[in-house]
Amino acid sequence: MAACCKGSGLHHEMGSKNEVKQKISKEEKKLMKKQAKVKHILLKHEGVETVSHPSKSLVIANGGLGNGVGRHRLLTVLEQCGKVESLVMPPNKPYSFVTYTSTDEAVNAYSSLSGHEISSNEWEQKITLYFSFVDKVELKEVLPPALPPGLVIIEEFVTSEEELAMLEGVDWTSDIASLPGFCTSVVERCLQQGLIKHKPDQLTVNQYEPGQGIPPHIDTHSAFEDEIISISLGSEIVMEFKHPNDSNVQVMLPQRSLLIMSGESRYLWTHGITPRKFDVVQDSEGQKVKTISGNIEELTLKKRGTRTSFTFRKVRRNACDCAFPSVCDSQQSQEKEAAPQVSVLGVEALEKEYVHKVYEDIAGHFSSTRHTPWPKVVDFLVTLPDGAIVADIGCGNGKYLGINKNLYMIGCDRSKNLVNICGEKKFEASVCDALDVPFRAGSFDACLSIAVIHHFATEERRLRALIELTGLLRSGGKALIYVWAMEQEYNKKKSKYLKENKNNKEQKTLNIQDGGLKPDTNTVLPVHTNRTTFESRDLLVPWHLKPSTRPNSTVTSKQSNEEEQGPRSVYHRYYHVFHDGELEGLCRKLENITILQSYYDQGNWCVILEKS
């Protein structure tokens, strides 16, 4: 029995030894396979030739700035195996090159560090390094690219005191109608020093938390004059400039610096900030070069801080006649015809031309794109008690009128064609203006105003529309109001990375128009470019009419000319986009009204009100 036990014990021991041996070779095999694959990828996709014989230099796959691996973190690992002669980290590449002082050290690194895990600064996760020998480190000589023509950066333009005053002076919720006083000295200095020729009248304040950015864009030519200046406060950041033929320049904007974009850099190059938590920067202290990539032997990652930028622009009042027609919205024939010059128009004329008439003309097409009810509006309607009497002011094609069959719903809209569409669906609806609703005041259990108030061109008229709406409510009655948010396009754009962002902070933007935008003065409203950040709170949003849905106009002698050119295809709707808190601010001015709820939904600011 004892022998047997001993025997089986021995047997067991031998077995486990074999298992360990097998396991290692399995892992080794896996590593070798992986390394072969990596070598193949490096050659095929990056043109990096690896060799099978030992040498002083190695390429480190995954150990690159593009993987979010910082220079210091990598060096610490590499120096465990010997003295590093150089570490070349090409910008945004998923690999780097290390050269040791001797082949022995490189061989040591190759055998002990392949498969080594390192934590990525940027991604906050482990990544595995793979090493291969290279005969020479390809130093594709990257000369420091020149700044785009017309771009100027002035360091230390703002003093620390001014920086503090400007950062503290931002009121993200207020509706200031003139450039804040704390900005004037900085703007004046730009003018005095001849850095800019024209006094800006518009300010956008953007706040970037680490991980946030702004997509590459050219500020709309027709909306703003040539010179655009931006002041970086709180922290530095790298801004990326791209030329249409693909030149790409990374520009360091130091804290308290002034950036001036004019000419080619303003009109032709896009600018943007990549949403990331670390920037690729020159390792050397007190960087003198403003563009990154100069000496790729000195690049590393630097953690971003919160940067607040003050971008000053001058609103353009005429069409742009720049030297870059290929990217100029003013000079593109289609766009030119489309971009209306809203000058010397009264407020009512503006609404008539850019709201009422447009909806009348696009009603069919508009209605065909409006069938999905917004869930939160549906929630509101289905939770009302059976038999409730509900008015939908600005009911459009009536998409909410039939949601809850237990309600008595009546709609109205300014557009006859849209009301007709409601009629075809057998809904109750009539034509009227939201400022003058012919329903009995104080008689409704609930009211809807979905995407209506933002079409009124002055605050006074938006308030009047709210007074008219809430006047319809009985005591205890509720109103649900949706208006388009300034922040919408932004959220849409950023939604992907906002999700990645752990604390899911919303990026902050504040736009201030000097003197406020008064549509009844001689003003050209900017035409919004779809899928971009709103550059103004008052703007024209293009509607591209599907050819099959164009209105048939009766041909009169005057119109026949137009008919020959074909019907219009691009319409513009006027919008006042609301910033965070603005709708609530208006509602607080209403008498006998309590704000029950206020929220953000699908790019809209929303409130639920109750009449006391």
Nearest residue to ligand AKG, using CB? 309
Residues in the chain, overall count: 612
Cβ 271 to Fe ion shortest distance, Å: 6
Total site size for Zn ion, rule CB under 5 A: 4
Q: How is residue 578 annotated by DSSP?
A: B
- CA-CA distance, 358 to 543, in Å (whole number)? 9
Which amino acid, 309?
S
Residues in CB range of 418: below 8 A, 6 or more apart: 359, 363, 366, 367, 395, 396, 397
153 sits near ligand AKG (criterion: CB under 6 A):
no
Closer of 335 and 428 to Zn ion (Cβ):
335
Closer of 219 and 413 to Fe ion (Cβ):
219
Cβ 310 to ligand AKG shortest distance, Å: 8
Cβ 178 to Fe ion shortest distance, Å: 22
Q: Sign (positive/negative) of CA torsion 39, 41, 44, 46?
A: negative
- CA-CA distance, 185 to 192, in Å (whole number)? 10
- CA-CA distance, 210 to 121, in Å (whole number)? 13
212 sits near ligand AKG (criterion: CB under 6 A):
no
Q: Helix (H, G, I), strand (E, B), or coil: what is residue 431? A: strand
Q: Which of residues 165-204 bind ligand AKG (CB under 6 A)?
A: 204
> Of 213-221, 403-411, 482-490, 538-546, which segment contacts Zn ion by CB under 5 A?
213-221
320 sits near Zn ion (criterion: CB under 5 A):
yes
- The item of Zn ion, ligand AKG, Fe ion, none sharing an interface with residue 540, based on CB under 5 to 8 Å by kind, is none
- The item of Fe ion, ligand AKG, Zn ion, none sharing an interface with residue 320, based on CB under 5 to 8 Å by kind, is Zn ion
226 sits near ligand AKG (criterion: CB under 6 A):
no
Closer of 106 and 214 to ligand AKG (Cβ):
214
Select from 329, 131, 81 the least CA-distant residue to 222: 329
- Among 57, 62, 67, 206, contact with ligand AKG (rule: CB under 6 A): 206
Neighbours of 589 (CB within 10 A): 11
207 sits near ligand AKG (criterion: CB under 6 A):
no
DSSP string, 263-325: THHHHTSEEEE---SEEEEE-SSS---SEETS-GGGEEEEE---EEEEEEE-B--S----S-G
536 sits near ligand AKG (criterion: CB under 6 A):
no
Closer of 325 and 373 to Zn ion (Cβ):
325
Residues of the shown chain interacting with Fe ion in the complex, contacts defined by CB under 5 A:
219
> What Rg value do the Cα atoms of the chain yield, rounded?
32
214 sits near ligand AKG (criterion: CB under 6 A):
yes
Which amino acid, 269?
W
Closer of 320 and 419 to Zn ion (Cβ):
320
Contact 110, 131 (CB under 8 A): yes
* β-bridge partners, 445: none
Cβ 574 to Fe ion shortest distance, Å: 23
Closer of 332 and 602 to Zn ion (Cβ):
332
- The item of Zn ion, ligand AKG, Fe ion, none sharing an interface with residue 478, based on CB under 5 to 8 Å by kind, is none
Q: Which of residues 322-351 bind Zn ion (CB under 5 A)?
A: 322, 328
Contact 83, 109 (CB under 8 A): no
- The item of Fe ion, ligand AKG, Zn ion, none sharing an interface with residue 221, based on CB under 5 to 8 Å by kind, is Zn ion
- Among 163, 219, 329, 445, contact with ligand AKG (rule: CB under 6 A): 219
Q: Which of residues 271-290 bind ligand AKG (CB under 6 A)?
A: 271
Q: Helix (H, G, I), strand (E, B), or coil: what is residue 448? A: strand
- The item of ligand AKG, Fe ion, Zn ion, none sharing an interface with residue 604, based on CB under 5 to 8 Å by kind, is none
Cβ 230 to ligand AKG shortest distance, Å: 4
Closer of 290 and 365 to ligand AKG (Cβ):
290
Cβ 209 to Zn ion shortest distance, Å: 33
- The item of Fe ion, Zn ion, ligand AKG, none sharing an interface with residue 328, based on CB under 5 to 8 Å by kind, is Zn ion
Select from 428, 407, 446, 422 the least CA-distant residue to 367: 422
Q: What is the b/e burial string over 287-304, where b = at least 16 CB atoms within 10 angstroms of the residue's CB?
A: beebbbbbebeebbbbeb
- Among 56, 221, 302, 304, contact with Zn ion (rule: CB under 5 A): 221
Select from 518, 572, 568, 514 the least CA-distant residue to 542: 572
Q: Which of residues 229-268 bind ligand AKG (CB under 6 A)?
A: 230
Give the tokens for residue 597: 């709820």
Cβ 280 to ligand AKG shortest distance, Å: 18
Cβ 294 to ligand AKG shortest distance, Å: 22
Neighbours of 233 (CB within 10 A): 22
Give me the helix-helix angle, 181-192 and 160-169, nearest 10°. 140
Neighbours of 254 (CB within 10 A): 18
Q: Which of residues 288-347 bind ligand AKG (CB under 6 A)?
A: 309, 311
Closer of 508 and 611 to Fe ion (Cβ):
508
Q: Which residues bind Zn ion (CB under 5 A)?
A: 221, 320, 322, 328
Q: Which residues bind ligand AKG (CB under 6 A)?
A: 204, 206, 214, 219, 230, 271, 309, 311
